[in-house]
Amino acid sequence: MWAAIIFRIDHFPLTWVPMYSVFEPRETISVKVWDKDKDRKGFIVTYRDGSTGYVTSKDLNISKPHFRRLYYDLIPDSQTVETASSNQEQGNIETGAINRWLRELDQAEHRFAADRDWRMFWVFNKTLRREPSDPKFIIRIEADHQNRVYRKEELLRQDVRNVQVDTRRALIEWRDEWLPRWERGIL
């Protein structure tokens, strides 16, 4: 254990990356289409008053690489889902009395599951200083991207005329059942 602390083995990528990689042969190769315009505009959002707009990396005050990761993490990707466990079903462990007191949780209050959708709404609206009663409160977040799918045998013949475009879209909506959690924070 001391060797792991001294050499920081937990941050050494060769120790954990191979555990999550699985090679599955396929007949196609999928390539993400990089859309600079979508990257610049950001998430499409709908406000409580019915109007729509965009939330960019500048609005959230985060760097562009972190914003891209947030954007593409929202979009369901079948390759990611197959190899990594979903955080939606995970819950937090039971916390001790001091931790519960610091977070101002009641002893009888249940644990919250890790909920990516809730966290997205909480982060977006709190960062933009919007409350649930605000007409500009974000109630819907949308993201999409395209993949170009090539067949391997066509690529070997250098024939790229028959390309299939696969569009993936994510849409999450605000649920009023989250209102009691709003003041408590990102739990």
- Number of structural domains (the chain) is 1
- Beta strands in 128-163, from DSSP E residues, in sequence order: 138-151
DSSP state at residue 179: G
* Structural domain containing residue 80: 26-181
Residue 20 covered by a domain: no
Q: Judging by DSSP bridges, how do beta strands 28-32 and 43-47 pair with one another?
A: unpaired
Terminal C-alpha separation, the chain: 31
Q: What is the dihedral of CA 3, 5, 11, 15, to 10 degrees?
A: 30
Per-residue pLDDT of the chain (187 residues; tens, 9 = 90+): 555 555 555 555 555 555 666 777 888 888 888 888 888 899 999 999 999 999 999 999 999 889 888 888 887 654 433 333 444 444 555 667 777 777 676 666 665 556 788 888 999 999 999 999 999 999 999 998 888 899 988 888 888 888 888 888 889 999 988 888 888 776 5
Residue 7 covered by a domain: no
Q: Are 54 and 67 in contact (CB under 8 A)?
A: no
Residue 119 covered by a domain: yes
